[in-house]
Amino acid sequence: MLSWLLAPMDVASAHDVGWHLSWHARIMVLAWGVLAPLGVLIARFFKIMPGQDWPRRLDHNFWWNTHRFCQYSACVLMVIGAVIIWNAPALTIKPGPHAYFGWTILSLAVVQICGGILRGTKGGPTAPAPDGTLRGDHFDMTPRRLAFEYVHKVAGYLALAVSVVAILTGLWQANAPNWMWLSLLIWWSGLTVSGVFMQTRGMAVDTYQAIWGPDPALPGNQRKPIGIGVSRRADMVSDVGPDGS
């Protein structure tokens, strides 16, 4: 078993990729195979934490802080990995599908970063406007915020899907050992099973409702939740205001 795990997938070819390619692969797998999907999973299913006294306790920041840490770290690692491969000897760089998928992910990551910068203000009780009102792009769900929501979610899930193909083509191109394939299969399977379980439990809660509560008078609660499979909590409490009181 140990011999099989250490052996490359194609036993007829050697697994000899050199320093640049090996570290490029390790960094990119950590970024897009581990951190990015973990950040997406947490952002989708942990907007309301287990045991949280929602809607009396609103805007739990666990998902927000963890999502930012995972995605920012993935982007930093992506840049490092790109620089390493860019400076690799010419003979070690092989053009092909893996490179195209890689540049596609990088482009989508740039879209996400720019979208985050341009997403507008938050507003609401936790981040009121300078004049003291609750006005904000997110609280009011302005066209600017709506555009960000759709672009961010579509580009994010697309980047996640492309990253899977990029990693698999990279492993194939490098003739990676079997243990690498197996490790990713186990990790991704665990994330998938967890995601399906939490989706069936109704944990993919609308961001707006998770942050500001179920009051139907709130601007965002008058709109359809954004995202496939995203729902609002059925246990709406009519006597809970936008501040959770």
Is residue 54 exposed (0-12), middle (13-18) or buried (19+ Cβ within 10 Å)? buried
Task: Identify the pLDDT of residue 54.
Answer: 93
Task: Identify the pLDDT of residue 91.
Answer: 54
Task: Identify the pLDDT of residue 3.
Answer: 79
Task: Identify the pLDDT of residue 1.
Answer: 79
Q: Is 231 helix (H, G, I), strand (E, B) or coil?
A: strand
Task: Identify the pLDDT of residue 16.
Answer: 63
Contact in structure between 116 and 137 (CB atoms under 8 Å): no
Residue 145 tokens read as 């915020």
CB atoms within 10 A of CB 77: 20
Residue 27 tokens read as 């960094």
Distance between alpha carbon 218 and the CA centroid of its chain, in Å? 27
245: enclosing H helix or E strand: none
CATH code assigned to 17-222: 1.20.120.1770
pLDDT tens-digit profile of 45-81?
999 999 999 999 999 999 999 999 999 999 999 999 9
Task: Identify the pLDDT of residue 20.
Answer: 86
pLDDT tens-digit profile of 120-141?
999 998 888 888 899 999 999 9
Task: Identify the pLDDT of residue 132.
Answer: 87
Task: Identify the pLDDT of residue 238.
Answer: 42
Residue 187 tokens read as 């990790």
Prior bond of 130 cis (ω within 30°):
no
Local mean pLDDT, 10-residue blocks, the chain (245 residues):
75 70 92 97 96 93 96 96 86 75 95 95 90 93 97 96 95 86 95 97 95 93 93 61 48
Q: Is 55 helix (H, G, I), strand (E, B) or coil?
A: coil
